Structure 1
Amino acid sequence: MKPPTLLSRPAHRALAGIATFALLWELAARGLDLPAYVLPSVSSILEAVVAQRSLLGQAAWTTIMEAVCGFALGSAGGIVLAILLTMLPPARRVLLPAATALNSVPVVAYAPLVLLWLGMGPASKVAMVSLAVGFTVFLHALAGLDRVDRRAVDLMRSFGAGPATILWRLRIPAAVPLTAAGMRVSTARSMIVAIVTEMLGAQSGLGWTIYQAVLQIDFVQVWSAIFVASAASLAFFGLVNLVEKRYVFWK
């Protein structure tokens, strides 16, 4: 019997790809003697991460909390809105075009208004992440709720099932896989929106750290914050992906 492994084959491949890319980056930066403002070496970036681990850790915690809270609120809001519009076709015909029009504008464009309304604190970042995630999850959930066999709906109606029973027994199970995929995709988007909003106006967080480092012309610090943000985003994505594989087993 083969011994159990902690990582799957795709995870091994991903780690091997990251290690190869980091090695090529290191060789290019040192072999071409590139200045730090063009491309610092991986080793110098990792040294900066270790040296500034306390500052970066606090900033990462702030950004992660904003992203996770916004992700949870946006996912819940998107799912609830999709269910309401599925149950109320007249409202769907009115609200769906409006939601589509709002989604056609880059979410970051709303950042100045949200910062003006909610201030520089975490509330504005959570609101922005909720807005970005909510649109994505809403569209995925709505598509999933619509992805049912009409013959199955007619069969349940012939047995006297009402709209609520059809929703609970048929539509929601059919919508869960696509909704989970939308939530998985939104993990990276939540971190991006939180960081960008922090760069536009904040008092802490990875985005604020990156902005301050740019003002101080400390490009190694910029890359160290980017490395930490990438690691946090990958961890968040991996966690949501793991939950999806564990509980959405019928997709």
Structure 2
Amino acid sequence: MSAKTLRYLIIAALIVLWEVLPRTGAIPELFLPSLSSTLQAGWSDAGEYWHALLVTLYEVAIAMVIACGGGILAGAVVGSLPRPRVLIMPMVSSLYAVPLVILYPVFTVWLGIGPESKIAFAGLYGFLPTMLSTAAGIQTIDPQLLLAARSMGATLSQRVTRVVIPAAIPTVLSGLRVGGALVIVGVVVSEMLISPAGIGYLISRYRTILDSPHVFAGVLLVLAMAVAFNTLIKLIERHAAVWQVGTRAGRDVIAPSAVGQAA
């Protein structure tokens, strides 16, 4: 049995258990509503969930630009320059170890309870791992690539955008997966804390009235966003695999296969 088939069987078993256990009373419906009642709750209020999903997607999209775009550029610059790397990386690593959710009240004081505070908080939440992963990925780049770029007169911005980032893409995407997931978590959590709209707001509102089917309907939407983002990253990884030839790790992977073909 292949691993892919086994994964599908596990997912199917979890779906069946989700429906059967609450129906048979093994798990109280208050703790875990059946899958059918969850889907029915979401369908009956599809308009409300659709509007909330659009709000959340808007906030996630802008926060992704801040976290992923800014994190990649900042990590590329810091990782390329020895002195900033020595000065900045320890501070960023220490800040990443702090649970940033404690800073969300500060963002609400500065930016209010509207989407601005959620975007800023989620952007920072995903920025740190993306930056750290990008800076670490720079270390896997073949130094001969940078030397060749300098010898041809490439400026710092040209080396970063045309050599550093493309060659570090495999490692960057690993950080991008973590950073993007944290952006989604940051937006939803901030909506649950203080927000008049969004999926997190619906989850929090229905939780206060103990409406479990509607709560889990919101959770399913969050799960769908995370799965869609992970699928997108896997697609990008598949198309960006060619850039591994510019890294030490890529050479280690390609060299054995090349030897085998020559033999």
Q: 1:186, CA displacement in angstroms? A: 2.5
Unaligned runs of 5+ in 1: 1-8
1:156-187 alpha-carbon deviations (Å, 9 max, x no partner):
66x56567365456433321111122112333
Unaligned runs of 5+ in 2: 245-263
2:79·2:134 contact (CA, 8 Å) conserved in 1?
A: no
- 1:243 pairs with one of 236, 255, 262: 236
CA distance in 2, matches of 1:75, 1:39: 35
2:125·2:183 contact (CA, 8 Å) conserved in 1?
A: yes
- 2:223 pairs with one of 214, 219, 230: 230
Identity of aligned residues (%): 29
- Structure 1 residue aligned with 2:105: 112
Name the TM-score, length of structure 2 as normaliser.
Answer: 0.81
Q: 1:95, CA displacement in angstroms? A: 2.0
Counterpart mapping for 1:1-251 below 5 A: 14-32=7-25, 34-150=27-143, 153=146, 159=151, 164=156, 167=160, 170-251=163-244
1:132·1:190 contact (CA, 8 Å) conserved in 2?
A: yes
Q: 1:10, CA displacement in angstroms? A: 7.3
1:184·1:237 contact (CA, 8 Å) conserved in 2?
A: yes
2:126·2:178 contact (CA, 8 Å) conserved in 1?
A: no
Q: Report SS of the residue matched to 1:197.
A: helix
Moved more, 201-210 or 181-190: 181-190
Name the TM-score, length of structure 1 as normaliser.
Answer: 0.85
User: RMSD of aligned C-alpha atoms?
Assistant: 2.5
Supply the AA of the counterpart residue of 2:19: E
Supply the AA of the counterpart residue of 1:34: I
Moved more, 10-19 or 30-39: 10-19
Q: 1:245, CA displacement in angstroms? A: 1.9
The change in CA–CA distance for 1:100 and 1:162 in structure 2 (over 3 A counts) is same
Supply the AA of the counterpart residue of 2:89: L
Q: Report SS of the residue matched to 1:40.
A: coil
Question: How many matched pairs?
Answer: 242
1:126·1:194 contact (CA, 8 Å) conserved in 2?
A: yes
The change in CA–CA distance for 1:229 and 1:154 in structure 2 (over 3 A counts) is closer
CA distance in 1, matches of 2:5, 2:243: 25
2:77·2:160 contact (CA, 8 Å) conserved in 1?
A: no
1:44·1:220 contact (CA, 8 Å) conserved in 2?
A: yes
